[in-house]
Amino acid sequence: MKSLEDLLTPLVSVTERGQLRWAAPEGGEGAFWADLEDHQILVRRDLDPNSHATVLRAELRNKSETTIDEVSANEYQPGFAVLDHLFAAARRSANGVDAAVSRVEKQLEALGASQAA
pLDDT: which is higher, 112 or 17: 17
Residue type, 48: D
Q: Above 70 in pLDDT, residue 115?
A: no
Asked whether residue 35 is domain-assigned, the answer is: yes
Q: What is the pLDDT of residues 30-58, one digit of tens each?
A: 999 999 999 999 999 999 999 899 999 99
Residue 117 lies in a domain: no
Percent of the chain with pLDDT over 90: 74
The confidence score (pLDDT) of residue 98 equals 85
Is position 74 within any domain? yes
Residue 115 lies in a domain: no
pTM, to two decimals: 0.86
For residue 64, the enclosing domain spans 4-110
Residue 96 lies in a domain: yes
CB 63 within 8 A of CB 39: yes
The pLDDT of residue 116 is above 90: no
- The CA distance from 80 to 12, in Å, is 14
Say what percent of the chain tops pLDDT 70.
95
Sheet of strand 31-35, all strands in order from the earlier edge strand to the far edge: 31-35, 40-47, 54-61, 67-74
Total domains in the chain come to: 1
> Which stretch of DSSP H or E encloses residue 12?
helix 4-16
Taking the C-alpha atoms of residue 10 and residue 23, their distance in angstroms, rounded to an integer, is 18
Distances from the Cα of 66 to the Cαs of 40, 47, 53, 87, 101, in angstroms? Answer: 9, 23, 26, 20, 36
**What distance in Å separates the CA atoms of residue 51 and residue 75, rounded to the nearest whole number?**
11
Residue 38 is assigned to a structural domain of this protein: yes
Confidence check: pLDDT of 92 > 90: yes
Q: Which residue type does 5 have?
A: E
In a domain, 49, yes or no: yes
Q: Is 116 within a domain?
A: no
Of 68 and 96, the structure prediction assigns the larger pLDDT to 68
CA–CA separation, 39 and 8 (whole Å): 15
